[in-house]
Amino acid sequence: MTLTPARKAELRERYLKVDTANVADILDEMGHPDHGLASSFWPIRESQNKMAGWAYTVRGQMTPYPGTGDPAKMEAVSGLEPGSISVWSGGGAQGVCFFGELIARGMQHRGCAGSLIDGGIRDIEWIAQMNFPVFTQYRSPVQSIGRWQVNAWQVPVYLPGATVDRVTVRPDDFILADFDGVMLIPQELVETVLEKAEALTRKEAAIREDLDRGMTLPDVLAKYGHV
């Protein structure tokens, strides 16, 4: 899929106006039922509970190594583009943080729209002040230096799923996250899913109006079908 930066920005802004629940329903209808991510991902701040963007993947592993930093991590995040979501994979249950406030700030300055982390973060109070949404698995003050190291980026990665053990996230797949959780939209379906989700959003708005005017649930079901 090749989209211009302007088109990608337009799609991202439109996705921010639909809900993960509607996207999940549309993917089910289209025969793609296993693109929800595990409910263990949570937003670090309720006021920054929604993010949308194009997956930029970073993969690492628990491994002891000497030195005072991880040059591969710095090189990896230098490739981030505006509207991207940095997706971090590798050893999510190991108890170390993958990044903190300073690297998050650097990513934000590159136009990164948020981060999805199958692992931990620290400096949450500072990150929460940045208007930079982050969905993560856990928090930990323990740094990754000497313990966890980036070994690849912009490659397919696995993240834990809601209905399957693993969901494959590829570079330029689309990530939508809100209060209900996180959905992956395969890159080849991004435009179709969005159009259908927007239509469902309009349908639900009409249903709310009818219910508020006193229509019963059986009447709504007869008029609109599944609700």
CATH code for position 84? 3.50.30.40
User: pLDDT band at 93, cuts 50/70/90?
Assistant: low
pLDDT at 201 over 80: yes
CA dist 113 and 53 (Å) reads: 6
CA dist 107 and 127 (Å) reads: 12
Q: Domain of 22?
A: 5-186
- Say what angle helices 190-212 and 20-29 make with each other, to 10 degrees: 120
pLDDT at 2 over 90: no
225 labeled binding residue:
no
CA dihedral 189, 195, 197, 203 (to 10 degrees): -160
CA dist 32 and 204 (Å) reads: 22
101 labeled binding residue:
yes
Whole-structure pTM value: 0.92
**What length does the chain have?**
227
In 3D, which of 141, 194, 175, 134 has the Cα closest to residue 37? Answer: 175
116 labeled binding residue:
no
| Residue 69 included in any domain | yes
| Residue 195 included in any domain | no
pLDDT at 29 over 90: yes
| Residue 126 included in any domain | yes
User: pLDDT band at 203, cuts 50/70/90?
Assistant: confident
pLDDT at 47 over 80: no
188 labeled binding residue:
no
pLDDT at 92 over 70: no
Number of domains in the chain: 1
What pLDDT is attached to residue 227?
Answer: 63
